[in-house]
Amino acid sequence: MSDHEEHREHGDGPDRRHRRPPGVGDRTVEALGSLSKALETTERARGHLYSFHQLTGGADLELDRAVRLLREAGHPEWAAKVESEILGRNVIPGHWTFQIVEAYNDTYYRPFQELERAALDELAKGRDHLYEAEMKEARRTSGHPDHTALPRDGER
């Protein structure tokens, strides 16, 4: 009996939702872990896209102040130039940043999310993070208070 199986017998392994269903092979767990890792990377990319959206919007709003200050400083021609050429300008042809975010979400992010969920549902009975849960089991020290398989009561 492996250490992994022994932990399970004594109720010291991962909870049911993080246990590999019967018949799910190592390569499948590894493939699903890789698919989830790619989605997690996409989540980070999406966060950067939202940063781009918010930073660009903030810069555009700051241009209102620049235009006002240029006028107050006696440079109405520069104020007009900033206002007409940059303020409210598309960041790519026909698009403000919110449209880029929407297109990314509709075209790439949501389909990726749906595909990853469908793969987990079909290949692992909806159980995710199997690869990480098994890595945790392999790396923890059984009996050590900071290496418990599950949160203690009241912890998450």
Q: How confident is the model at residue 156 (pLDDT cuts 50, 70, 90)?
A: low
Q: What is the mean pLDDT of the chain?
A: 90
pLDDT, tens digit, for every residue of 33-73? 999 999 999 999 999 999 999 999 999 999 999 999 999 99
pLDDT at 45: 98
Over residues 89-111, mean pLDDT: 98
Question: Residue 95 forms beta bridges with which residues?
Answer: 92
Over residues 75-92, mean pLDDT: 97
Dihedral pair phi/psi, residue 95, rounded to 5°: -130, 135
pLDDT at 15: 83
111-118 contacts, C-beta under 8 A, 24 or more apart: 112/38, 112/39, 112/42, 113/39, 116/35, 116/36, 116/39
Among candidate residues 126, 137, 152, 144, the one with its CA nearest the CA of residue 8:
137
| Residue 144 vs residue 152, higher pLDDT | 144
Task: Name 28's Cβ contacts closer than 8 Å, sequence gap at least 6.
Answer: 123, 124
pTM score of the predicted model: 0.80
